[in-house]
Amino acid sequence: MKLLGEGFYWNDLSVGDTFKTFGRTISETDIVNFVSAVGMLESLFVDAEFRAQHSAIDGRPAPAALVYSIAEGLTLNATGQGTGLAFLQMELNVEGPVLQGDTIHVEIEVTEVRATSKQGRGLVRTKNRIVNQRGETVITYTPLRLMAGRD
């Protein structure tokens, strides 16, 4: 019986494969819960008066760490469910702000696929672009993941 929602196996992927996730709108609740849970109680995120007087960004910004975390949820639920074994490394570049009310999705391109020395496992690197509703790339990151292989 096929397991619904199962992720990709490393040996089913090829360099150049591309995917796009569904979108997710960033809410005030997302921002409040995230900054409270992780202790990121920076005035920019919790003080509307400070933000109005001192911020270089119009609107209520979401921490890049929150945006990246939501992007990982969108990505892994669609690609690594049951097949992802470990997150190993990445480079992350913030290219623009994400504000409360923005909707993001992730565009994924496979850039590296190779077997490991241990049978049944492989390494997969992707270039993930987090894109807002205006088509602007707001964050780019390049995760390297250890993934299960198909028998």
On the question of pLDDT at 4 being above 90, the answer is no
pLDDT for residue 63: 97
On the question of pLDDT at 46 being above 80, the answer is yes
Q: How large a percentage of the chain has pLDDT more than 70?
A: 100
Mean pLDDT of all residues in 88-96? 98
Mean pLDDT of all residues in 37-63? 93
* Element at 139 (helix H, strand E): strand 137-141
Nearest C-alpha neighbor of 142 from the set 106, 99, 115: 106
How confident is the prediction for the chain on average, in pLDDT?
95
Of residues 3 and 122, more confidence is placed in: 122
Q: Which two tokens stand for residue 20?
A: 């796009």
Domains of the chain: 10-27+62-148 (3.10.129.10)
